[in-house]
Amino acid sequence: MVEPYVFSLGAVKREAGNLCFWNQEIFPFEIARSFWITEVPAGEKRGVHAHYSDEQITICLQGKVTVELEDLAKRKYQFVLDDPAEALYLPAMVWSSFTFDANSVLLVLSNKPFSEADYIRNKVDFEKLQNGS
């Protein structure tokens, strides 16, 4: 089972601001869609679901986002994202929640077009998969 991991992106950090970038070469997949989450009240949780097949890269462009994950083997992970040059790879079949600090911006890049059928939105359904049923 592939584990989530953090990796570094390219960055040019200067007085006049930061410019951070991805190169397709260092990415684990080709990007089929992207979305960004903004204006989340401080302390609010977003995500709180799993995906059957979507893999995602998440990057906190500004502020701080705390990511809590749980995989099919019931392993738990926590990552604090607060660097626009740092990306978190999220494999499929991971229950995830994202807690936002004030004024935080989260960018998400995914390997699949949007499909509602790919979402597992009920934790009980995910727990059944964890228990092999």
**111 CB-side CA count, 13 A:** 16
Does residue 35 touch a copy of itself according to CB under 8 A? yes
Does residue 101 touch a copy of itself according to CB under 8 A? no
Which one of 3, 7, 8, 19 is in contact with a copy of itself (CB under 8 A)? 19
- Which C-beta is closer to a copy of itself: that of 40 or that of 50? 40
Specify whether the CB–CB gap between 117 and 50 falls below 8 A: no
Does residue 24 touch a copy of itself according to CB under 8 A? yes
Cα separation, 73 vs 67, whole angstroms? 18
Quote the least distance from Cβ 13 to a copy of itself, whole Å: 8
Does residue 43 touch a copy of itself according to CB under 8 A? no
Does residue 40 touch a copy of itself according to CB under 8 A? yes
Q: Report the first-to-last Cα separation within the chain, whole angstroms.
A: 18
Q: Which helix (H) or strand (E) holds 8?
A: strand 5-8
Does residue 29 touch a copy of itself according to CB under 8 A? no
Does residue 118 touch a copy of itself according to CB under 8 A? no
Q: Which helix (H) or strand (E) holds 123?
A: helix 123-130
In the three-class reduction of DSSP (H, G, I as helix; E, B as strand; rest coil), residue 44 is classed as coil
For 37, the token pair is 């989450």
- Which C-beta is closer to a copy of itself: that of 2 or that of 26? 26
Task: Enumerate binding residues for a copy of itself (CB under 8 A).
Answer: 15-24, 31-41, 44, 46, 59, 61-62, 84, 100, 103, 105, 107, 109, 113-114
